[in-house]
Amino acid sequence: MCGITGIFDTREARPIAHPVLHRMNESQTHRGPDEGSLHLEPGVGLGHRRLSIIDVATGQQPLFNEDHSVVIVFNGEIYNYQELIPELQALGHVFRTKSDTEVIVHAWEAWGEDCVQRLRGMFAFALWDRNRQTFFMARDRLGVKPMHYAVLDDGMLLFGSELKSLLRHGGLRRDIDPRAVEQYFALGYVAEPDTIFRQARKLPPAHSLCKIGRASCRERV
């Protein structure tokens, strides 16, 4: 279990405040007590709390491709990553680690949004591709790994493994969703894509969210 969180500016490339992202990331320390790291650039901030399991020595996140144009934060495990490495190497990709995280990065470069069709495992991840000006989030088919997100009034998109990481940003409205309250009492939980707050959502299982340039976000099954 790891924890991921981040901020993406859907309108411009405004600076992301380091203290805010740090606060969001540290709220999930219990999910990843081994390491915590951040990546910031104009309009993008990614945070990761790591529980070291695969490639303990070199699997730190956020993790980049060869030229640092693609960066990812990932929670989960890709079961078929060792099978994908030779295929991606044959396409010219160079691996610097032995982690399943790097397989996702190169799979994105090779196959774009369809990379999720090649992954077998439990996962939630978010990546930023600077060359394509694309922000991409995805969740595994069964929804084993959580992913919450919200688009704030100022156009900032927040995401995190846990809802409380979004709350630590300080900009999320705390209006309670009556439908979510009804679901909780009827079912014992709040069903996707709802959360207890009107402004926040859960990315449903087997869904991705893609933001190209500063156009509107779109969800995809």
Extents of the domains making up the chain:
3-173+202-220
What was the pLDDT predicted at 217?
Answer: 61
Q: Does domain 3-173+202-220 sit in CATH 3.60.20.10?
A: yes
pLDDT means per 10 residues, the chain with 221 residues, are 94 96 96 92 96 68 95 97 97 93 97 97 98 97 97 97 97 96 95 96 97 68 59
What was the pLDDT predicted at 61?
Answer: 92
What was the pLDDT predicted at 34?
Answer: 86
> Does residue 217 carry a catalytic annotation?
no
C-alpha 120: how far from its chain's center? 17
Catalytic choice (2, 115, 210, 217)? 2
Using alpha carbons, list the distances in angstroms from residue 74 to 12, 137, 175: 25, 10, 29
Structural contact between residues 60 and 37, judged by C-beta atoms closer than 8 angstroms: yes
Structural contact between residues 18 and 40, judged by C-beta atoms closer than 8 angstroms: yes
What was the pLDDT predicted at 156?
Answer: 97
What was the pLDDT predicted at 219?
Answer: 63
